[in-house]
Amino acid sequence: MSAKMRAGTALKYLLLTFGAVLMLGPLIWMVLASFKTLPEILAFPPTLLPEQVNLSNYQAVFDTADFVRYFINSTIVAVITVGSVLITSSLAGYAFAKFSFPGRDVLFVVVLATLMIPFQVRVIPLYILASDLHLLNTYGGLVLPTLVDAFGVFLMRQYLQSIPNELMESARMDGAGEIRIFFQIVMPLAKPALSALTIFTLVISWESFLWPLLVASSTDMYTLPLGLAQFAGRFLDRTDLQMAASTLTVLPLLIAFLLMQRRFIEGMATTGMK
């Protein structure tokens, strides 16, 4: 490798490192500030590392707000949402990718067209529907708008198109039914796309604020974003407590991404190439 190429490679890594630090800077500061006392956070010049690890902020968060209940609610909503989206998206994506039927392409365009409709336009009809079905202030109402995802259908369809049709044809010749082919052949090969879709759906469900705010009328049904907003409103001048509560809210997403990042990146790269 020539000196010019090495310099170019070094410059690329330098720019990528700078971009990563720039993007992760607020997150790193939030986590470190959650272990500081309030005077230490407000000190000038500011410090990055805490002088002494302080866990009292987290203790105060749990003592003054029901974050355990918020976490349970968010987990229930996320599990139902992710499970429903994975099932419906993989089934619909498989149908659009591997079956020919009248109006298939038109129907797929209609599904994609729903992505252009902002959620704010759909929120009033969805709220009326949830009210008519007596789903307000229930888990069913919280997950109602997210049970089916058009983006998930698109993502799975794009990925499943890359799976050779010969695999399904060979299975059919051996006597396998469509359900067995789907679960034993197609789904194991689609793990990267399923992992990517899981991350996307989990983030959207975990961060959802507007719809839970409309549906949840009691604090017992609050999810973490609602609980965090209420907590921040009570402690406007306690930055240390706000950082601790924010860290607790973001931590599950970070853990999920770290556990699934390899398949997530693989799925996005393969789907993008297709």
Q: What residues have CB less than 8 Å from 40, skipping those under 6 apart? A: 47, 50, 51
Residue 268 pLDDT exceeds 60: no
**How far is C-alpha 254 from the chain's CA centre?**
10
How many other CB atoms are there within 10 angstroms of residue 233's CB atom? 8
Mean predicted lDDT score pLDDT of the chain: 87
Q: State residue 75's pLDDT score.
A: 94
Residue 271 pLDDT exceeds 60: no
Give me the mean pLDDT over the 117-125 stretch. Answer: 90
Residue 7 pLDDT exceeds 80: no
Contact 151, 115 (CB under 8 A): yes
* pLDDT band at residue 273 using 50, 70 and 90 as cut-offs: very low
Helix ranges restricted to H, the chain: 3-33, 38-42, 56-64, 67-98, 104-113, 119-132, 139-143, 150-160, 165-173, 178-181, 187-189, 191-207, 210-215, 224-234, 239-273
How many other CB atoms are there within 10 angstroms of residue 187's CB atom? 15
- The domains of the chain are located at 64-273
How many percent of the chain have pLDDT more than 90? 34
Q: Render pLDDT for 37-78 as a digit per residue (tens, 0 to 9).
A: 888 888 888 787 888 888 888 998 888 888 899 999 999 999
Q: Render pLDDT for 175-193 as a digit per residue (tens, 0 to 9).
A: 888 888 888 888 888 888 8
Collapsing DSSP states into helix, strand and coil, what is residue 131?
helix
How many percent of the chain have pLDDT more than 70? 95
* pLDDT band at residue 270 using 50, 70 and 90 as cut-offs: low
Q: State residue 133's pLDDT score.
A: 92
Residue 244 pLDDT exceeds 80: yes
Residue 159 pLDDT exceeds 60: yes
Q: What class has domain 64-273?
A: mainly alpha
Q: Render pLDDT for 190-221 as a digit per residue (tens, 0 to 9).
A: 888 898 899 889 989 998 999 999 999 888 99
Q: State residue 82's pLDDT score.
A: 94
- In a 10 Å sphere around its CB, with 0-12 CB exposed, 13-18 middle and 19+ buried, how is residue 98 labelled? middle
Q: State residue 269's pLDDT score.
A: 58
Give me the mean pLDDT over the 66-93 stretch. Answer: 93
* pLDDT band at residue 264 using 50, 70 and 90 as cut-offs: low
**Model's pTM, two decimal places?**
0.85
Contact 142, 77 (CB under 8 A): yes
Q: State residue 91's pLDDT score.
A: 93
